């Protein structure tokens, strides 16, 4: 997370996984499994906004890998390194 004190700007990553956009069709990637459960861009933006309001530093949106990512982030927060 990066905070710019002068303007009080806060940024955070959005860990959303696959997002359904025109990129999939344009790249001919329709047959790849990861895109089958892709989230809409609107749902990703809404989740990120709500996470920002809750003060989450690294919002992770989605099932499956979500739990593993949260465990990894917890370990990083305790040990401070990857």
Domain count, the chain: 1
Distance CA 81, CA 73 (A): 10
| Structural domain includes residue 66 | yes
| Structural domain includes residue 55 | yes
Average pLDDT for 22-29: 85
pLDDT at residue 31 in the model? 83
Q: What is the mean pLDDT of the chain?
A: 74
| Structural domain includes residue 62 | yes
Average pLDDT for 17-35: 83
**CA-based nearest residue to 58, from 25, 13, 24, 17:** 13
| Structural domain includes residue 4 | no
Q: Is the pLDDT of residue 62 over 70?
A: no
Phi, then psi, of 12 in degrees rounded to 5: -150, 150
Q: Which domain holds residue 26?
A: 13-79
| Structural domain includes residue 8 | no
């Amino acid at each position: 997370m990066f905070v710019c004190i002068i303007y009080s700007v806060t940024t955070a990553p959005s860990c959303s996984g696959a997002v359904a956009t025109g990129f999939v069709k344009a790249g001919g990637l329709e047959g790849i499994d990861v895109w089958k459960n892709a989230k809409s861009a609107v749902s990703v933006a809404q989740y990120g906004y709500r996470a920002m309001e809750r003060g989450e530093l690294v919002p992770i949106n989605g099932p499956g890998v979500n739990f593993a990512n949260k465990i990894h982030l917890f370990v990083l927060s305790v040990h401070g390194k990857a």
